[in-house]
Amino acid sequence: MRVLGIETSCDETGVAIYDQQAGLLANQLYSQVKLHADYGGVVPELASRDHVRKAVPLIQAALLEAGMGAKDIDGVAYTAGPGLVGALMVGATVGRALAYAWGVPAVAVHHMEGHLLAPMLEANPPAFPFVALLVSGGHTQLIHVAGIGRYTLLGESIDDAAGEAFDKTAKLLGLDYPGGPLLSQLARQGVAGRFTFPRPMTDRPGLDFSFSGLKTFAANTVRANDGDPQTRADIARAFEDAVVDTLLIKCRRALEQTGLERLVIAGGVSANRALRERLAAMMRSRGGQVFYARPEFCTDNGAMIAYAGMVRLQNGIMGDLAITVRPRWPLAELPAL
* E strand segments, 169-317: 262-266, 289-291
136 marked ligand binding residue = yes
Beta partners for residue 157, in sequence order: 209
Q: Which helix (H) or strand (E) holds 335?
A: none
Would the annotation count 114 as a binding residue?
no
Strands in 140-147's sheet, in edge-to-edge order, are 150-156, 140-147, 130-135, 262-266, 289-291
Of 279, 249, 321, 256, which is closest to residue 103 (Cα–Cα)? Answer: 321
Judged by DSSP in three states, 178 sits in coil
Alpha-carbon distance 246 to 209, whole Å? 8
How many CA atoms lie within 13 Å of 306's alpha carbon, on the beta-carbon side?
28
Q: Is 91 flagged in the annotation as binding?
A: no
- Please write down the HEC assignment for all residues of 250-282: HHHHHHHHHCCCEEEEECHHHHCHHHHHHHHHH
> Residue 169 and residue 234: Cα distance in Å, rounded?
13
Cβ atoms < 10 Å from Cβ of 31: 15
- For the chain, the maximum distance between any two Cα atoms, rounded to a whole number of angstroms, is 63
Residues 284 and 261: their CA atoms lie apart, in Å, by: 10
What is the DSSP track for 141-163? EEEEEEETTEEEEEEEBSSS-HH
Q: Binding residue per annotation — 135?
A: yes
The response to whether 134 counts as a known ligand-binding position is yes
CB 334 within 8 A of CB 151: yes
* DSSP-derived pairing of the beta strands 150-156 and 130-135: unpaired
Residue 111 annotated as binding site: yes
Residue 180 counted as an annotated binding residue: yes
Q: Is 272 assigned a ligand-binding role in the annotation? A: yes
Residue 263 labelled as part of a binding site: no
Does 167 count as an annotated binding residue? yes
Mark the binding-site residues, compressed into ranges. Answer: 111, 115, 134-138, 167, 180, 272, 300
Mark the binding-site residues for substrate, compressed into ranges. Answer: 134-138, 167, 180, 272
Mark the binding-site residues for Fe cation, compressed into ranges. Answer: 111, 115, 300
